């Protein structure tokens, strides 16, 4: 899968518990197997370590939220005026007739801040997957919600990849286990999304930031509660 070289998480107690849950989730003969909910919940607890009880894991997703604002603004413009008009401010309107992969990768590069850090890598993976969706008039709120879920899943897979790969009895069980984690995260997205979303012209301002932060807070809270 290529995740094991991305990052070796810290060796603190919460990270040890997180890696242990990932191992028990996939180990065929684990004495106390972990469910997907425990893996996600323990990962979020470890991710939020040191950022204060109130902020928790949310503090680790600042870049994710900024990119979510850009995605919301882009989708709102594409929904109201079409893709050529949405791409024109970024000088990418010539990519409209290109294959969807070319457009998705170019847009992901334009919307993401460059950087080797893990969050940036997860954001690029998540953003490319969302932009690969074929739609003439994307729903901004839906795209942003799915992007937040995809970014969380990608980051978990990169952070816990070494433990997951080591415990998996094969490639197929590993893929299935990752898909179950993704399905779980996505299943909580709709109920964590507040309404209404910001007006199209407000996605990149304070209203957009607060709406996205509220969405992510709700998602993280629901997933964190799965261990209780």
pLDDT value at position 108?
Answer: 87
Q: What is the pTM of this model?
A: 0.89
Residue 158: inside a domain: yes
The Cα 58–Cα 68 span in angstroms is 14
pLDDT value at position 50?
Answer: 65
pLDDT value at position 149?
Answer: 96
pLDDT value at position 162?
Answer: 92
Residue 132: inside a domain: yes
pLDDT value at position 28?
Answer: 72
The Cα 71–Cα 107 span in angstroms is 10
Residues 67, 148 contacting (CB under 8 angstroms): no
Whether cis (ω within 30° of 0) applies to the bond prior to 196 is: yes
Residue 92: inside a domain: yes
Question: Two tokens at 74?
Answer: 């882009």
Domain count, the chain: 1
Residue 31: inside a domain: no
Which range of residues forms the domain containing residue 72? 61-227
Q: What is the DSSP letter of 113?
A: P
Q: What is the DSSP letter of 198?
A: P
The Cα 157–Cα 2 span in angstroms is 10
pLDDT value at position 2?
Answer: 44
Residue 153: inside a domain: yes
Residues 224, 39 contacting (CB under 8 angstroms): no
Terminal C-alpha separation, the chain: 31
Give me the phi and psi of 93, to 5 degrees please.
-60, -25
Residue 21: inside a domain: no
Residues 149, 186 contacting (CB under 8 angstroms): yes
Residue 50: inside a domain: no
pLDDT digits (tens, 9 = 90+) for 209-228: 999 999 999 999 999 988 75
Q: Which regions in the chain score pLDDT beneath 70?
A: 1-9, 30, 50-55, 114-116, 228
């Amino acid at each position: 899968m290529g995740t094991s070289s991305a990052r070796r998480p810290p060796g603190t107690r919460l990270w040890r518990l997180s890696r242990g849950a990932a191992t028990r989730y996939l180990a065929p003969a684990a004495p106390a197997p972990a469910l997907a909910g425990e893996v996600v919940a323990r990962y979020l607890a470890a991710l939020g370590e040191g950022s204060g009880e109130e902020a928790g894991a949310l503090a680790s997703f600042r870049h994710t939220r900024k990119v979510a604002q850009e995605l919301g603004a882009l989708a709102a413009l594409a929904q109201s005026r079409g893709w050529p008009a949405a791409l024109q401010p970024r000088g990418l309107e010539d990519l409209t007739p290109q294959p969807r992969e070319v457009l998705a990768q170019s847009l992901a590069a334009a919307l993401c801040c460059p950087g080797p850090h893990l969050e940036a890598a997860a954001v690029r993976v998540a953003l490319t997957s969302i932009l690969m969706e074929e739609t003439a008039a994307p729903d901004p709120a839906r795209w942003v919600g799915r992007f937040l879920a995809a970014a969380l899943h990608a980051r978990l897979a990169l952070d816990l990849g070494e433990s997951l790969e080591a415990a998996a009895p094969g490639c197929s069980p590993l893929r299935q286990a990752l898909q179950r984690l993704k399905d779980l995260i996505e299943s909580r997205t709709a109920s964590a999304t507040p309404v209404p979303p910001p007006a199209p012209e407000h996605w990149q301002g304070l209203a957009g930031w607060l709406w996205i932060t509220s969405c992510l807070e709700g998602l993280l809270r629901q997933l964190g509660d799965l261990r209780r």
